[in-house]
Structure 1
């Protein structure tokens, strides 16, 4: 659908939106800094970025928020909305009444509360724009750590973070004309450095809750000015790091159990509880819950990246959409369950091993094998290895992979919206532009103890909405953020509705009940309302009955037992469920309120049995233990699931046999049922059944012995599922129970598949748990990890060898073990013709040997910061082990990568005793060049000047260009005067690569008359156009580094000679000399550039922009450079964004899909978008075409990165 608008609004509305239609999810300031083009020619850093030393970016931060004036943009967006059949939409509010809206909540009176931000990106930071403090950010474990980090890096500029203010806005339509006519700042003062953006709000009966890092806030009452009367922090400690923008606190919702639920992204949390304990979940996002007054805070589900809004279905199941990490995965729909771990860790975003090997991707943690993104929205999932054995069993799979940018979420309440969306979820997909964003509807189907995707279809298209909510009158209020993911100073609220539904008597009845409330109604009426068609009415009746004490309890017991007949079978069941939940609310204060429930575990309705089991476990009703144990053999998986969870909460050790039997029957087929059994055993093995993160509950030593009694037998047996489940229990425990995964390492089950799977899971555990590193050795007294397993297990096992005792302060105790594991590592690296070890295994082993004496700060697999001090023992044992296996490692039969890695290992170990061996390799012309080069570079790091000099001479006489170039940076270490002479000769030569290296070396030499003269001469040659194109950047960088006045003057002369144009001619230093491999890394992995978001190469990436395969066959380097720096200079056919104004005053904008002599076809820049055809004879004016790609690469890439990217693009033949 193409935008249509008046001529008057053309300049201020459509054209800017076309410019930003495909902006990426970046918060880099694109317009706040205007620098001359010449700056790019000399500064090897992105424009608009602080120096590498750090600093706060130069935003203009003001106390008063900047809000855009009124315009017709909201009306225009309204016209372009893709609405469902029979539904309409109105513009309810727009700027300047609100701006930058993140979330909203509509209360029972139809008042709208909006979470509004003016600090996003400027005072609430995104680590992608502050990569110089990434390691500090990842290491933060408390809010105080984050503030200390800011003070450290920003100094006196720290105060600038407290200038801007966010707030909660109240909006009302007091004259009932369908538009907001009253607005106030309901709650404000969110301008502290520790504050995140307001990202969640929930209003109910005069109380408003808001999630604003680092607090969960509660406001009560409203005065005459529309302001909150009281303000209270219910809990504190959310947002221990900056991480990525938007990974905040969200999702406030009231559950059918009367408790408050909310989410947080991987900015994570470390919250102190009233009793002094902490909920310390500092490495992932999570879902929390608490009572409405903030008490009894619990963490429900963790291992999430950025869950936003939450939604319950009619059976009390909780769901959220979680966002991807932008590298070959997709978003996920998550079933939120108690104790659930979805596997994300914040360190995965910045993986030490690179994104191809990050476990999130390589071990398919993100993947749902039941429902794909293609089923959800027609976009194929990335291709993966569908070997289920690769995926860690400890992490629950998502219900389905879904489309990009999941945010706002709601579930149909039974009235309102439209009949075509009955029993559907509505999920906002916020993708940075109207063209790409939408709201989709979908259903779910029960599948064992979990769910699978049902029907999917669009609800609202061409809307960039972060949130939506259902109003009492049945209409859906939808936020509009406007274009881009950055602040726009704009915002709208649309009201979407079905006129027939709004006039329906049942909808009007629902509105009346919600507005009037339940306090004045008698028990009989409240009981009747438990079967109302709308879930909101049912919940309010349930809550009121639960608050009525014994009278309410009697009514709830009667309703739960189905004593009153309701004609509609579905509503009859729902009435019973609400009655059960209501008894659960009472039971949390007095367990006797649930004494009637155990009898219902025999009910004919499986959902009734399931919810009764859930509530009995929730309130810890011990008298139900026997009845719950019987339900472990129920025909319905959901009943088995909740019964197992309940028995764990009740610490029913007598039910261990039943749990084990259920594990055998399930045989790992249902991951959620297995999870319930693991949670049962975990609950039985700990002293408390509170929901806290793993390892924060103390083990019950008595039960630990019970576990150990059958552990050995279960590990050696072929009993289906048992060894794996026991291993997963051990993963959650600490203290003495670390023996569980240790025993799993030595699993000797006869079935090789069982054995391999258990060992693989154990191998994962031992690389992530400090207690287990040491426990592995103390229990077994040796290396003991058996090959073969599988690539995942092998990689983890090698890393475990590296980590063992790395954190032990008893170095004498660890010495022998360090020697043993170094020997094991070298044995793996040197193995030949061994099917047990992959090339990757061998290279990893050599990497670890090289790092033997180097303190590590982050876990290689999880990317998480170590919380204990690394205590390396020195490199002696690693050096000795490599020496022992040297002959095998250097064998011509070894892969060349192994041989080079062995040299790299001794180089990093500073093992200069290997100097004669390195010199011999350099001199041996039979050796591969890359090996000789590695040996030469190793010598350059050591102090053996004689061996180095010998190797340099051999390299210079070798005839190999790469070896000769490598000597240039080494010569100054042995003979400075000779080095300058060789550098001069090199600069007079014709090898551009050697010239580049010579210039770099010259720039590093201390003040030296001859060196400065050489550099000045090179600048003269640059001015005269005599420097090889591939060395121009190095001349400019080298000259910039020198202090010599004559050199600086000449450089300035050259810069002034460059044309000040938006063409490649202004940047000749970026056309040649780039590194293809480095450029490929920029394209596929650069955090800020995100080329893959729009372009595709070799089948990887997106088709929003042109596919770049073979691009160099079509265009020269000048075109490629301009395409990066100035994409509007040359727009690829089919990707031109333009706008036209017709003679009748209407206007259209979009991507030019096709153009003939008589017609122009335009559409939104997304696959399968509708096309509008405009007759050229009807066009009055046509704006110049613009590119969908923003001109921002010079702000996020350095000169070298741009040059490398051009080299990579030029290699695509």
Structure 2
């Protein structure tokens, strides 16, 4: 392909001496580049904006030296270790190209000091590490995370060839999965920290034995309270594993600062503008799924939050730790706490994070706020404005304090799909004119080790820590000198090592009296790690003036019976500090009955006048809590009632139901709808009191959604007129569809057929449109009678055919198509429905019969170069996309949201996602085949599975459907997406993608 001539000004800009750096292209010059040039390593730096003029980004390594880096680490020699993923998701997507010899672990090195890698060493290659998501270098041990295993490679002689490979942990779910096991990191407390996403499911020892928590329970997603993504720590040899947090979606990495505080990012259900940054408080539940039922966040509940991002993490629920920062759309990846000195002061000690979705590197300056923190968002690097193939997968600190960024470099962000297998980059970010120089560390003397233990590079920190720990008393004086440092974080690093001495607990006592609250935080954390078992210590610290310190005391007593400590902590709680309230809840988890009773006795009979006491009751799980909540509801009689009603969902089910019935008996008329929604009701053994109330109140329920919930739950057959009114309204198609489905389930199909055949054509067509959305064999049969009737009007026949969409309806339509019984004038519409079917079997049958109307030979370069008609694209999105995706306020919440898709996917990735939808199914949106005992089968998205129920979304519906697990034979994940390959021309594809590209934040 011939490249266009560049302007003279542009050409002159490229002329520079070998001693100088190439000047960065202006926006106009960059726009003149061809796509081929923009994707080349030559212009890689021009595609990324550095937000601070004091900093400089340089290209350290690129293709063909390495490709597709998923994760990296930097050893104590300054060499970059990279895990590649050429064989990305080949187990799930056999269409992806493969290398039979497997993926590689590379060591990239700059041997001539020019700031660019000139040597690449293959440390290991094999199919057992295909698409590894984590690498960490700890001395001669290299930890590689690739679900279902964590491998430890040992290089005994330092020749960059592994002498041994062992499995440290296994049984992690999500083989070759982005939501599986992630990287390990070393912390100043001498522990290794790691995590996995919500495909992880559980953690096992090498021989398969499950890891246990302090209560002797296996750490798996089937063991309450554990579920979804989790955070762990262990000793460097893999022993003493502890679970530290749970209920994340895809917490890609965990970063730990010198005080022992943990920081994470977390990904939302794709497209819901709800990615987040968390401070991870030990033993916290982080709210991705309902704590008790494990239901999806979309499941309607009492006191449900107003915004999607709050709903997404159940932030109104007692027992959920708050978020630190809300990041909207994204695909969060690597994260660090930068404790180096090379970058300017404002970057020092900050959380720095890679987000591959919006093509950015950010930092999150935080300030303490009570027992928690507040944070803000500041961009460091941004590729979105120019090169949205920039996909930073990891961020790591080098020995000199510079920051390295690995770049997956792809039109998309994973999700089982890869658009580019030949590119990948590693960048270095540092102050301008800062050359990359790394000298060989000296681990021989205490003096040099003291310097090295302060290094921001974790490989050096690890080796120095272990060497100083080994020296023991010999290092005591030097460590005490470092402990006297004015640098709080280096003081903390010295502290952790001092606690490893035989008299280490004396240093904990000393740190507990330090003026710096962060050192006191470290002291409490160290008391747990050292197993001090000194109740007086924690009781003293419970009176600390700092809420940060008291938070640590609270989590420290989770597995202890420490009533005096808890009471002391509860006394200092101030309403509004949700972090502190959750810490108290974590502490009281196994002792609520005694703790809460003693607390209320001390507060006295006027406890309901205390905001703090009411908060604690709301958070509590004691046997007496339902009765206390009942008192609060009766006394409050305000919108606060809703949060107390919601708190009942976290109590014993029988006691909850009895409390709700008590409230009915005591005359809370204004809350009867809430009570009816919340109460458990078995239609096979109906509770007469609840059923009679539902019948009496249903007609007066103001909210249509509440009305439909009650009618469906209690199977009320006396609300026909209002059901029809909701079904026929035009303001909310989702409600209309729900009402139509409920109507047919209650009254059958006779009245629907009569309405569809009304002598008034306008009324008949309206009935066809409104009840045609019910996806059942019976409705499809009714529709077929209309479109198959030559005496019916063209408008009615067309409407009836256009409503033959849906899993069951399309199966009926195919029966007619197979027998050539579709009228010629309606055949094009029928073909379009069948060949765009979400049922891949039907789609294939229709394609075989009619011949493909979908191009299989799209001219991708031509489409990429073309500019589409945005208005036509919007019309196409209304025709195809909003049937299953939300765009702003329009559409159905079935597949991933598209409201900000332009910030996440490049043009290339969007085209590929439409042409090949099965190559990039988002996690949580995979096709599941559910088979029932009665022979029925459905294809659906599984939102959640509880002890008794399977909660799914059916094609084209934003509503959730609940099936009893007892009725189900099997649930199988399929390789094909529910999204069909739409029969779009090249021109239509360009128009549609041009519109989608503009959907940004």
TM-superposed CA distance for 1:684, in Å, is 4.8
Aligned-partner SS, 1:547: helix
2:187 is matched with which residue?
Answer: 255
Aligned-partner SS, 1:281: coil
Measure, in 2, the Cα distance between the counterparts of 1:977 and 1:90. Answer: 67
Considering only aligned residues, what root-mean-square deviation do their CA atoms show, in Å? 5.9
Q: How does 1:792-1191 map to 2 (within 5 A)?
A: 798-802=676-680, 815=685, 817=687, 819-832=688-701, 838-849=703-714, 878=715, 882=716, 904-905=741-742, 907-908=744-745, 936-937=751-752, 951=754, 955-956=758-759, 960-962=763-765, 965=768, 983-986=788-791, 989=794, 991=796, 993-994=798-799, 996=801, 1004=812, 1015=822, 1018-1019=823-824, 1033=832, 1078=883, 1084-1085=891-892, 1091-1094=898-901
Summarize the Cα distance change of 1:642–1:984 in structure 2 as closer, same or farther, 3 Å threshold. Answer: closer
Q: How does 1:507-586 map to 2 (within 5 A)?
A: 515-517=441-443, 520-522=444-446, 541-549=464-472, 558=480, 566=485, 569=486, 571=487, 573-585=488-500
The 8 Å contact of residues 123 and 161 in structure 1, kept in 2 or not, is answered as no
- Equivalent of 2:164 in 213, 230, 255: 230
Measure, in 2, the Cα distance between the counterparts of 1:659 and 1:775. Answer: 29
Is 1:281 matched up with 2:207? no
Aligned-partner SS, 1:280: coil
TM-superposed CA distance for 1:622, in Å, is 2.5
- Equivalent of 2:567 in 657, 674, 693: 657
TM-superposed CA distance for 1:980, in Å, is 6.7
Is 1:313 matched up with 2:257? yes
Aligned-partner SS, 1:634: coil
Measure, in 1, the Cα distance between the counterparts of 2:377 and 2:720. Answer: 63
- Equivalent of 2:124 in 176, 182, 187: 187
Summarize the Cα distance change of 1:997–1:783 in structure 2 as closer, same or farther, 3 Å threshold. Answer: farther
Aligned-partner SS, 2:169: strand
1:429 is matched with which residue?
Answer: 355
| Higher alpha-carbon deviation: 454-463 or 102-111 | 454-463
1:762 is matched with which residue?
Answer: 647
Deviation by residue 1:1009-1068 (Cα, 9 ceiling, x = unmatched) = 9x96763xx33x58xxxx8x8677469999x9999xxx9999669999xx999999xx9x
- Equivalent of 1:392 in 317, 324, 340: 317
Q: Which runs of 5+ in 1 are unaligned?
A: 8-12, 22-71, 126-156, 368-383, 686-700, 731-736, 767-771, 850-877, 913-933, 941-950, 1096-1100, 1106-1120, 1127-1192
Counting matched residue pairs gives: 852
Deviation by residue 1:763-818 (Cα, 9 ceiling, x = unmatched) = 4536xxxxx33442477876859997999x966x555424x679xxxx8xxx354x
Aligned-partner SS, 1:602: coil
2:613 is matched with which residue?
Answer: 722
1:1178 is matched with which residue?
Answer: none
| Higher alpha-carbon deviation: 757-766 or 246-255 | 757-766
TM-superposed CA distance for 1:212, in Å, is 1.3
Measure, in 1, the Cα distance between the counterparts of 2:141 and 2:876. Answer: 62
1:73 is matched with which residue?
Answer: 40
TM-superposed CA distance for 1:233, in Å, is 1.9
Measure, in 2, the Cα distance between the counterparts of 1:1055 and 1:471. Answer: 51
The 8 Å contact of residues 180 and 196 in structure 2, kept in 1 or not, is answered as yes
Q: How does 1:470-481 map to 2 (within 5 A)?
A: 470-481=397-408
Measure, in 2, the Cα distance between the counterparts of 1:775 and 1:548. Answer: 59
Summarize the Cα distance change of 1:466–1:351 in structure 2 as closer, same or farther, 3 Å threshold. Answer: same
Summarize the Cα distance change of 1:318–1:957 in structure 2 as closer, same or farther, 3 Å threshold. Answer: closer
2:920 is matched with which residue?
Answer: none
Larger radius of gyration: 1
Q: How does 1:665-814 map to 2 (within 5 A)?
A: 666-667=574-575, 669-682=576-589, 684=591, 703=594, 717-730=608-621, 740=625, 744=629, 747-748=632-633, 750-751=635-636, 756=641, 758-765=643-650, 772-777=652-657, 798-802=676-680
| Higher alpha-carbon deviation: 327-336 or 772-781 | 772-781
- Equivalent of 1:82 in 25, 49, 74: 49
Aligned-partner SS, 1:99: coil
Measure, in 1, the Cα distance between the counterparts of 2:691 and 2:529. Answer: 50
Is 1:495 matched up with 2:495? no
Aligned-partner SS, 2:66: coil
Summarize the Cα distance change of 1:906–1:550 in structure 2 as closer, same or farther, 3 Å threshold. Answer: same
Per the normalisation by structure 1, the TM-score is 0.59
Measure, in 1, the Cα distance between the counterparts of 2:914 and 2:667. Answer: 48
Measure, in 2, the Cα distance between the counterparts of 1:607 and 1:163. Answer: 51
Is 1:114 matched up with 2:82? yes
Measure, in 2, the Cα distance between the counterparts of 1:206 and 1:961. Answer: 77
Deviation by residue 1:519-563 (Cα, 9 ceiling, x = unmatched) = x324x775687778999877765544433445556876x559x6x
The 8 Å contact of residues 437 and 464 in structure 1, kept in 2 or not, is answered as yes
Measure, in 2, the Cα distance between the counterparts of 1:1041 and 1:610. Answer: 57
Measure, in 2, the Cα distance between the counterparts of 1:843 and 1:267. Answer: 34
TM-superposed CA distance for 1:1006, in Å, is 11
The 8 Å contact of residues 250 and 263 in structure 1, kept in 2 or not, is answered as yes
Summarize the Cα distance change of 1:1075–1:473 in structure 2 as closer, same or farther, 3 Å threshold. Answer: closer
Deviation by residue 1:147-195 (Cα, 9 ceiling, x = unmatched) = xxxxxxxxxx99999967334223333455544344343234344xxx7
The 8 Å contact of residues 202 and 210 in structure 1, kept in 2 or not, is answered as yes
The 8 Å contact of residues 399 and 452 in structure 1, kept in 2 or not, is answered as yes
TM-superposed CA distance for 1:823, in Å, is 3.7
Measure, in 1, the Cα distance between the counterparts of 2:272 and 2:91. Answer: 31
Deviation by residue 1:585-619 (Cα, 9 ceiling, x = unmatched) = 56xxx8x6314533543333333323222222343
Summarize the Cα distance change of 1:579–1:73 in structure 2 as closer, same or farther, 3 Å threshold. Answer: same
2:178 is matched with which residue?
Answer: 246
Summarize the Cα distance change of 1:631–1:1076 in structure 2 as closer, same or farther, 3 Å threshold. Answer: closer
Is 1:643 matched up with 2:575? no
The 8 Å contact of residues 334 and 398 in structure 1, kept in 2 or not, is answered as yes
Q: Which runs of 5+ in 2 are unaligned?
A: 1-5, 16-29, 205-209, 413-417, 917-976, 996-1001
Summarize the Cα distance change of 1:89–1:824 in structure 2 as closer, same or farther, 3 Å threshold. Answer: same
Summarize the Cα distance change of 1:712–1:618 in structure 2 as closer, same or farther, 3 Å threshold. Answer: same
The 8 Å contact of residues 971 and 978 in structure 1, kept in 2 or not, is answered as no
Measure, in 2, the Cα distance between the counterparts of 1:246 and 1:787. Answer: 52
Summarize the Cα distance change of 1:894–1:236 in structure 2 as closer, same or farther, 3 Å threshold. Answer: closer
Aligned-partner SS, 1:677: helix
Measure, in 1, the Cα distance between the counterparts of 2:506 and 2:342. Answer: 37
Is 1:613 matched up with 2:524? yes
Measure, in 2, the Cα distance between the counterparts of 1:277 and 1:545. Answer: 36
- Equivalent of 1:166 in 80, 96, 103: 103
- Equivalent of 1:633 in 530, 543, 558: 543
Measure, in 2, the Cα distance between the counterparts of 1:197 and 1:643. Answer: 40
Measure, in 1, the Cα distance between the counterparts of 2:340 and 2:877. Answer: 64
TM-superposed CA distance for 1:203, in Å, is 0.7
The 8 Å contact of residues 426 and 442 in structure 1, kept in 2 or not, is answered as yes
TM-superposed CA distance for 1:239, in Å, is 2.6
TM-superposed CA distance for 1:316, in Å, is 3.3
Summarize the Cα distance change of 1:452–1:615 in structure 2 as closer, same or farther, 3 Å threshold. Answer: same
Measure, in 2, the Cα distance between the counterparts of 1:174 and 1:330. Answer: 43
Aligned-partner SS, 1:408: strand
Summarize the Cα distance change of 1:395–1:498 in structure 2 as closer, same or farther, 3 Å threshold. Answer: same
Per the normalisation by structure 2, the TM-score is 0.69
- Equivalent of 1:100 in 68, 76, 86: 68
The 8 Å contact of residues 190 and 236 in structure 2, kept in 1 or not, is answered as yes
Deviation by residue 1:973-1018 (Cα, 9 ceiling, x = unmatched) = 99x9999799332467454534626999999489899x96763xx3
TM-superposed CA distance for 1:442, in Å, is 4.3
Aligned-partner SS, 1:234: strand
